[in-house]
A and B are shown apart, each in its own frame.
Chain A
């Protein structure tokens, strides 16, 4: 294996030191080698070789979503994207950016925040561009990719698109699915495929990108992506309040969501989650549940919404409330993204529930009761406008956690939804079906996998139903 790989890549791009490979184990399975190709073509040659040799390959970005998925059936080669980290095209005026898969999210955001998007070349009377640019006089500049998944300092764009990862701001701005305009990927058979483009609208051929987004690298290796961007907002803020219990906090959330206000994020959280967010300064003793709201836009918009939130909070008998300006707000969201991160000693456990929006109150109430009865300490986090909730379990025995998982799944299923095990040690994954039962459209998915990856090269066994 090593000699075959050495034929394709420079020596420093091939790793076969057993000790170092231990660190690249996925659910206990240690790869036989790891490579870090420096170009898309190099990566494609590696994939083609793997397809010929029948190797199982796991692509590796920042390693932040590797806990997601069933334990792999096989693992021969880890393909690191760390050297595929070029910014290919920043076009802030067009509000697009094209990057390679290994670019780290926060590095991109830093670049975008400083990108000049205020200037353009005007046309003269013959529809030709003049040589001199005109710049807008607005006093802020820069753009951003409105995606806020956990660990932006490590998560790579390829990884977060493959996992379709997002964060609280999904409430307003959507997820990778809504923000990817096009991508280039490598088929498991080695061909480099282009899909979509850098225009906002595009119905030229099938929307192949959609298949790759969220496919956990099981249909192709994402090599490059083009994203749509937004201008940085003039003003940002966060607002939070605590409530006596779930009923009060939930009623507040419903009224907020039914209003015409346009928050960027609405997160409903239980008391243990407060420990994760010290910059709020809310007292854990004050209430059972609390709510955090993100705001962005023109100054007037943000100010008006802060006022309305205070007024609403009073009507719903909030115990305590707090406003955060842009800087502290960003710090707060970063703290919250770390909620339930593992304590040293074992991998984290995180469940994600999905249910109809209107069932939110019922599911959260039943979930809290189930958590209470289990005796485990858990952080509950509900993306209140989307019908999604997470249970983070930083401590506790796997047996109890497994039982709790089954209970939570039953509750979500009764409400018309389901549960995904987002992170867990392999032994727990063996007990709980990670993705839940496949639906009636699974036959189509299996057919697609077979046609894209006939040899089972990419991530075999990790996706839904063992695809």
Chain B
């Protein structure tokens, strides 16, 4: 089937207006927030699960690859159609189908923006806990694909801990439900495998999400430090005190400066590091906990501990943290975010090594990370128009991943493997390990038509 015929037949399924195929459109859907690009043959904007199923069935018939796409905020190349074919973009499938407070379940389409759902359920005194920094633009389907994290995952767990079931379109166009909004469906935990599979096992068309009660009280502290060592030691000391806060986030000087210039969150420009520490739960005991944390900060030579006085101040503190990636992008034309994760006790040591890598390659590296769960996000600044500098960035990124693995950690905490880290999979997995993953891939997608070329490095045989 030639391209014109494919486009024509797709138009009959979703309506011609919902098939994009101009040069500009194909370019617009060729990239995400990572560095690689590849153009699709056409972009399809389905309006329902049935349409997705028919599109995929057509693609399957003609062995055309399909790649799902949410909001394109992926940091590892997940939605980039590296083998061409179709991009199925879920921007029209953005309905919240049901919020069921009595059963503590929400049913949504994959194109729903994370924050939109969070705002809706908040009206009922409920919350959907995972809060990736991109929540204003990221889609829930994308969150499911990448098993997104976020600051509050320290206490509440990542996306997979909040997904109860899924409806997905398989490679041959079959529509199936896996998991269930009712607990303990018998059988293998297919939901658990699909979450975090980066859209390579099927196209998710509906998502059942767990809702939980909002905490009675929240307390947000900003601790300002003169040195990065003091901030690191504070993190170690909080953990040693047996405290698992709702969030424990760290930012260094470079990031603080960028954030202040763009969103004015109220961070002091001359500090070397800040911690955002949030506590939540019952009001009783929260003050003592906050006092305890303040005392720990003081023992570690904190300059100042500020408590957000009201919701507006709290919002401002978080706006800074959540806007950090965007703010840093103002400093240089490009940046690369690394996403290494280490056992949290290794964090200070690995942080020091990361700074050393920056010096070695002559690169500016900013640090903003989830200190409580050992998830680092070094931001390497550069200019992609300078191929020599870009080369150094790639080397530095790879070296940082190796440092994380050497410290007992892994190469991706929440951004995924995608295209970015295919080559590094062998740092943590044997050929047999990868072969076991291929068995899963083949069970779902025997002909490798769904988001091909991602996550799993070749060769298939172990």
Interfacial residues, chain A to chain B (CB-CB below 8 A): 91, 93-96, 117-125, 127-129, 134-136, 138, 140-141, 174, 177-178, 187, 191-195, 197-208, 210-211, 213-215, 219, 230-232, 234, 258-262, 297-301, 303-305, 352, 354-358, 386-388, 416-418, 420, 435-436, 438-445, 447-448, 450-452, 463-465
Contacts and interface: CB of A to CB of B under 8 A. Distances in A.
Nearest 5 A/B pairs, CB to CB: A210-B192, A127-B352, A298-B285, A231-B242, A358-B102
Given A174-B157, A388-B183, A441-B176, A138 B103 contact: no
20 contacts: A94-B345, A121-B236, A122-B233, A177-B189, A193-B432, A197-B409, A199-B342, A203-B413, A206-B456, A215-B189, A230-B244, A231-B244, A300-B288, A304-B284, A305-B282, A354-B183, A355-B182, A356-B103, A386-B183, A439-B185
B240 A93 contact: yes
A445 B178 CA distance: 10
Contact of B462 (A127, A191, A206, A215): A191
Contacts of A95: 239, 244, 344
A117 B288 contact: no
With most chain B CB atoms within 10 A of its CB, the pick from A91, A125, A202 is A202
Contact of B443 (A128, A234, A303, A444): A444
B184 A388 contact: yes
A191 B432 contact: yes
Nearest to A412: B182
B161 interface: yes
B109 interface: no
A199 B413 contact: yes
B146 interface: yes
Contacts of B281: 262, 297, 301
B282 A262 contact: yes
Given A210-B189, A451-B443, A199 B409 contact: yes
With most chain B CB atoms within 10 A of its CB, the pick from A174, A200, A213, A232 is A200
B190 A134 contact: no
Nearest to B174: A443
A177 B193 CA distance: 12
Given A234-B242, A447-B443, 5 more contacts: A127-B351, A177-B189, A201-B375, A203-B413, A210-B193
Given A122-B233, A206-B193, A440-B177, A138 B242 contact: yes
A117 B341 contact: no
Contacts of A193: 432-433, 436
Contacts of B430: 194
Given A441-B178, A445-B188, A125 B439 contact: no
Interface stretch (B4-12, B25-33, B357-365, B414-422): B414-422
B340 to A, nearest CB: 9
Given A304-B284, A356-B103, A118 B190 contact: no
B440 A448 contact: yes
A110 to B, nearest CB: 19
Interface residues of B, number: 102
A122 B184 CA distance: 44
Given A127-B229, A203-B415, A356-B182, A219 B188 contact: yes
Interface in B420-455: 421, 425, 428-430, 432-437, 439-444, 455
Contact of A203 (B100, B196, B432): B196
B186 interface: yes
B412 A444 contact: no
B440 A208 contact: yes
A303 B429 CA distance: 48
B147 interface: yes
Given A201-B414, A205-B434, A136 B146 contact: no
B159 to A, nearest CB: 9
Contacts of A301: 281-282, 284-285
Nearest to B157: A178
A357 B346 CA distance: 41
Contact of B242 (A120, A136, A211, A420): A136
A425 to B, nearest CB: 20
Contacts of B229: 122-125, 127
A210 B176 CA distance: 19
Contact of B343 (A121, A129, A134, A199): A199
B417 to A, nearest CB: 6
B394 interface: no
Interface string B393-425: 000000000000000111111111100010001
B187 A204 contact: no
B215 interface: yes
B271 interface: no
Interface string B334-351: 000000011111101101
A303 B284 contact: yes
Nearest to B178: A441
Nearest to A122: B233
Nearest to B243: A231
B213 interface: yes
Contact of A204 (B227, B373, B425, B435): B425
Contact of A94 (B186, B343, B439): B343
B113 to A, nearest CB: 21
Contact of A207 (B196, B233, B289, B462): B196
Contacts of A300: 284-285, 288
With most chain A CB atoms within 10 A of its CB, the pick from B188, B242, B346 is B188
A177 B177 contact: no
B244 A96 contact: no
With most chain B CB atoms within 10 A of its CB, the pick from A136, A299, A303, A387 is A136
B228 interface: yes
B7 to A, nearest CB: 31
B355 interface: yes
A297 B343 CA distance: 24
B72 interface: no
A288 B409 CA distance: 53
A178 B405 CA distance: 23
Contacts of A260: 213-216, 282
B195 interface: yes
A463 B186 CA distance: 9
